[in-house]
Amino acid sequence: MEAYRFFVGSGVRELMRRAAPENMPEPALRDLVEGMRGQYAANWANKTRPYTGIVPMLQRLASLALPVAVLSNKPHDFTLLCVRRFFPNIAFARVQGCPEEGKPKPDPSLALDIAGEFGLRPGRVLFLGDSSIDMDTARAAGMIPAGALWGFRPEAELKAHGAEVLLAAPEELFHYI
């Protein structure tokens, strides 16, 4: 279980590739990916919860009328389900999961698309995430990489991947806005 948190973050296919034995034949890997998608569809909400302080942080951001978006490497349909379930009263400017044929983070394309949609220069966007993938995405997009220390990955990883801001708790975000 400890190793698993380092498998996630780059999409379902990469998760299965990391978890599978080395040199797994492509057809077997495709079967694992499809099996994972089925398991995830049936069980995605069983233990998933927002981190402590996230809902009040999002409510405060909404009160400031700042555009807030979600960008996830989860499949787009699952990203939408998660947001609807756990944040039903938050009006996100955009919720974006990884498109079926799209490039997952750390490719900056979707992050830049979101910033452009709201007329924001990338250098004015704080990209908050909890993994090296998020920090790499922010840097590739020219955004401010902010590391969430309450998330999946350790502080050393976030720093090593360019986090310019480290937040120990969600409410600390307001020191940077």
Band of the pLDDT at 11, cuts 50, 70, 90? low
Whether the pLDDT of residue 35 is over 80: the answer is: yes
Closest CA to 173 of 155, 149, 152, 154: 149
Task: Report whether 106 contacts 140 (CB < 8 A).
Answer: yes
Task: Give bridge partners of residue 147 from the DSSP assignment.
Answer: 129, 166
**Counts of helices then strands in the chain (DSSP H, E):** 7, 5
CATH fold for domain 54-175 = Rossmann fold (3.40.50)
Average pLDDT on 38-63 reads 90
- The percent of residues above 90 in pLDDT, for the chain, comes to 63
Contacts of 103 (CB under 8 A, 6+ apart): 109, 110
β-strands 94-98, 69-75 pairing: parallel
Domain with CATH 3.40.50.1000 in the chain: 54-175
What is the signed CA dihedral for 154, 159, 162, 165, rounded to 10 degrees? 90
- What is the per-residue pLDDT for 8? 66
What is the per-residue pLDDT across 117-129, written as a single tens digit (0 to 9) for each?
Answer: 999 999 999 999 9
Band of the pLDDT at 83, cuts 50, 70, 90? very high
Average pLDDT on 81-94 reads 95
Band of the pLDDT at 147, cuts 50, 70, 90? very high
